[in-house]
Amino acid sequence: MANVELAATYAALILADDGIEITADKIVALTNAASVEVEPIWATLLAKALEGKNVKDLLSNVGAGGGAPATGAAPAAAAGGAAAAEAPKAEEKVEEKEESDDDMGFGLFD
């Protein structure tokens, strides 16, 4: 089953690389040419998942998701001046202490 899924994914990548629209029929045609039988439902689901998305952009931005919000927040804090100095005070929260089993009067082996 993993080989079938991998073949369908490779077929979608081939279509994206050639600039061809990713459709279920084209995925099935490519996998059949490679002697891999993919059920049409899986090709349809993959085509629907990738519909309207630029696969090349998805591949080139795989690891870029984590750093964007942090870099956007740093210039905003620097530009804020006094407002930025007050922000950490507003964000401070009182942490509630969790109750332990000792406070309940019984233990695991009592």
Per-residue pLDDT for the chain (110 aa), expressed as one digit of tens each?
A: 688 888 998 899 999 888 889 999 999 999 999 999 988 899 999 899 888 888 888 878 777 655 555 545 555 544 444 444 455 555 555 566 665 555 566 666 75
Best CA proximity match to 58, nearest among 30, 5, 17 = 17
pTM of the model: 0.53
Tell me whether residue 94 is in a domain. Answer: no
Tell me whether residue 69 is in a domain. Answer: no
Domain that holds residue 24: 1-60
- Report the CATH number at residue 41: 1.10.10.1410
Tell me whether residue 98 is in a domain. Answer: no
- At which residue do the structure tokens 């085509």 appear? 47
8 A C-beta contact, residue 15 and residue 44: no
What was the pLDDT predicted at 98?
60
Number of folded domains in the chain? Answer: 1
Tell me whether residue 7 is in a domain. Answer: yes
Distance, in Å, from the CA atom of 90 to the CA atom of 4, rounded to the nearest integer, reads 53
What was the pLDDT predicted at 24?
92
Tell me whether residue 90 is in a domain. Answer: no
